Amino acid sequence: MSSIQSFRIAVGTGAERRDIAVEQRPGRVPGLFWLNGFRSVMSGLKAVSLDALGAEKGLEVTRFDYSGHGQSGGQFDDGTISRWLEEAEAVLATTGASPIVCGSSMGGWIALLLARRQLAKGMPLRGLVLIAPATDATTRIAARMSEAQKRELATLGYYERDSAYGDGMYRYTRRLIEDGAHHLLFGSVIETGCPVHILQGGQDPDVPPEQAQRLLTHILHDPVTYTLIPDGDHRLSREQDLERLRAAVMGMV
């Protein structure tokens, strides 16, 4: 079993520079590359489960925290899809060739954007495993705002709502929502250049099954497996859910 190597990389320059905390387990390729969801960190259950799988199978595993999250530098309120995608691309460059990218919720959206960029470079990923992928999430966030939240966004530049998961208030900034409009995927064919496996909870109030099913209608040129877990929630972190995640990953190794 290899030991985890912890290091930091600098992304951006000048005022945009932020130090990104990375944990990487050396191993054989194709490795596993984990992308957290919004407000989630690399020490979460799904991320740690994948690291344990990599240790067991001798695979390289790379995890990191977005800026403004966990151990990384930067301010959460500065976070946008553009910034977090830039960070994902920079960390990906530290990994072995063509990893399997696993993204949860917002990380699933970033994973799709990353796959498109890698395909454009002629360096397609080995595969994508997407857990409740929140494709175009900022559009859904904007559509669900109350009139009071719209006023707060206009006057304060953000609004907050209590998390359904007991981890405090979630803040959504105008910068995040406006930037998300530059990365929308729905409305045209989504090219990934690799196999895709989607894991979706049937009882997910944040990214409902209809969202994942809509994604299916946009991936037309790559093989897609869709696993609906009827009693699953958004996080899909129960042991039986983690086993499905591990099986989906090993199906691509």
Domain CATH code at residue 92: 3.40.50.1820
Residue 162: the pLDDT is 84
Question: Is 178 within a domain?
Answer: no
Share of the chain above pLDDT 90, in %: 96
Q: What is the per-residue pLDDT across 31-87, written as a single tens digit (0 to 9) for each?
A: 999 999 999 999 999 999 999 999 999 999 999 999 999 999 999 999 999 999 999
pLDDT at 166 over 70: no
In a domain, 36, yes or no: yes
pLDDT, tens digit (0-9, with 9 covering 90-100), for 210-224: 999 999 999 999 999
Is 55 within the bounds of a domain?
A: yes
pLDDT band at 164 (very low <50, low <70, confident <90, very high): confident
On the question of pLDDT at 165 being above 80, the answer is no
Structure-block tokens of residue 32: 């596993």
Residue 53, domain member (yes or no): yes
Average pLDDT (119-133) is 98
Residue 203 belongs to a domain: yes
Tell me, yes or no, whether 98 lies in a domain. yes
The token pair at 140 is: 């859904």
- pLDDT exceeds cutoff 80 at 234: yes
Answer whether residue 144 is part of any domain: no
Residue 174 lies in a domain: no
Q: How many domains does the chain have?
A: 1
Helix axes 239-250, 45-57, angle to 10 degrees: 50
Contacts of 106 (CB under 8 A, 6+ apart): 36, 37, 38, 81, 134, 137
Could you tell me the two tokens for 96?
A: 């072995």
How much is the pLDDT for 26?
Answer: 97
Residue 176 confidence (pLDDT): 97
Sign (positive or negative) of CA dihedral 237, 240, 244, 246: positive
Residue 127 lies in domain: 5-136+185-250
What is 166-200 written as a DSSP string?
SS-EEEEEHHHHHHHGGG--TTSPPP-SS-EEEEE
